[in-house]
Each structure stands twice: as structure tokens, then as C-alpha cells.
């Protein structure tokens, strides 16, 4: 068990944000005030993809709702080649990742690397640094670690 990991969210990739928000709100999850969009480009720095420096952007619609203490994140990719869009094309709609906050992302990344897990993508926004790990072989979703700046 990772005592330093604080569960934050489940992220579901969708094709139609409005339809998804309405659907999950009908189940009692939400409400979902939009955070970005309809054309929401997220400024990123220090981007990697499969361990190499990469030039990609997040162009997406993003909304977070909740149920109990759980944050339920919806992401609709828009333009360009992104890991989120790749997931949608390969797997369809569904849970793409589960996110955890950590105090020291470098230390936690090193621990996962020692166990053979590789970073599939990473970047920084003005407020958070994050990395996704290739944990989708069992269960079909990735694990995201995030550290607030």
C-alpha cells in the first residue's frame, strides 16, 4: 500500500461531454460545472510521451463532478494527437485513469520504476506536475500521480 498516495479522481474519457454530464447527473453523480472548453487548450511544460520529450497539447473539454468524497472527471478530447484521444480511438469511452496526489512525485516515480512500471506521459501545468504510468495491462486503465506546485 502506498501511504503517500492520496486518492483524488476517476477519469472517464467521453465522445460527447454534454451527453456524458447529463447521463452521470441522472445517476446522482455531479453536478459537472465545466472547467475548460469548448476549445480548452491547456498550457503544458516538460512534456514527455513514452519516456521521450514530445510536443503535444491537451485540447479538450474537461469537467469534474462528485459523489461523496470521490471526484469524477470527464474528458472529451478535441483536436490533435494526444494520449487521451489515442485511448478513445483504441478503447472507446471508459475509465482511462485513476489519479492520486503525492508529496514527492520524483520519489514515487522512482519506486514505480524500480518495479518495472514506465511513465507513458508526463507534463506540468502552472499548478500541478503529473505523470501517467503504463498500468493498463490489468484492468485497462493507467495510474496518474500528481504533485501540486
Fold for domain 6-28+41-148? 2,3-Dihydroxybiphenyl 1,2-Dioxygenase; domain 1 (3.10.180)
Question: To the nearest 5 percent, what fractions of the chain are helix, strand and coil?
Answer: 20, 45, 35
From 61, 20, 12, select the one nearest 41 (Cα to Cα). 61
Predicted pLDDT of residue 38: 46
pLDDT higher than 70, residue 1: no
pLDDT tens digits, residue range 101-136?
Answer: 999 999 999 999 999 998 988 999 888 999 999 888
Give 58's contacts (C-beta < 8 A, 6+ positions apart): 40, 41, 42, 44, 82, 84, 123
Q: What is the number of helices (H) and of strands (E) in the chain? A: 3, 10
pLDDT tens digits, residue range 86-97?
Answer: 889 999 999 999
Predicted pLDDT of residue 36: 54
Q: How far apart are CA 114 and CA 116, in angstroms?
A: 5
pLDDT higher than 90, residue 43: no
Query: What's the whole-number average pLDDT of the chain?
Result: 88
Task: Identify which has the larger pLDDT, 7 or 43.
Answer: 7
pTM of the model: 0.87
Percent of the chain with pLDDT over 70: 93
pLDDT tens digits, residue range 54-85?
Answer: 777 777 888 999 999 889 999 998 877 777 88
Amino acid at each position: 500500500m502506498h501511504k503517500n498516495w492520496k486518492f483524488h479522481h476517476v477519469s472517464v474519457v467521453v465522445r460527447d461531454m454534454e451527453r456524458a454530464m447529463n447521463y452521470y447527473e441522472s445517476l446522482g453523480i455531479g453536478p459537472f460545472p465545466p472547467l475548460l472548453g469548448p476549445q480548452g487548450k491547456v498550457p503544458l511544460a516538460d512534456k514527455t510521451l513514452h519516456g521521450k520529450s514530445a510536443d503535444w497539447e491537451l485540447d479538450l473539454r474537461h469537467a469534474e463532478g462528485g459523489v461523496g468524497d470521490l471526484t469524477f472527471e470527464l474528458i472529451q478530447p478535441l483536436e490533435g494527437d494526444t494520449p487521451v484521444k489515442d485511448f478513445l480511438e483504441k478503447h472507446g469511452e471508459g475509465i482511462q485513469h485513476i489519479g492520486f496526489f503525492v508529496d514527492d512525485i520524483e520519489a514515487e516515480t522512482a519506486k514505480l520504476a524500480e518495479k518495472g512500471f514506465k511513465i507513458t506521459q508526463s507534463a506540468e501545468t502552472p499548478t500541478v506536475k503529473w505523470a501517467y504510468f503504463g498500468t493498463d495491462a490489468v484492468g485497462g486503465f493507467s495510474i496518474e500521480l500528481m504533485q501540486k506546485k
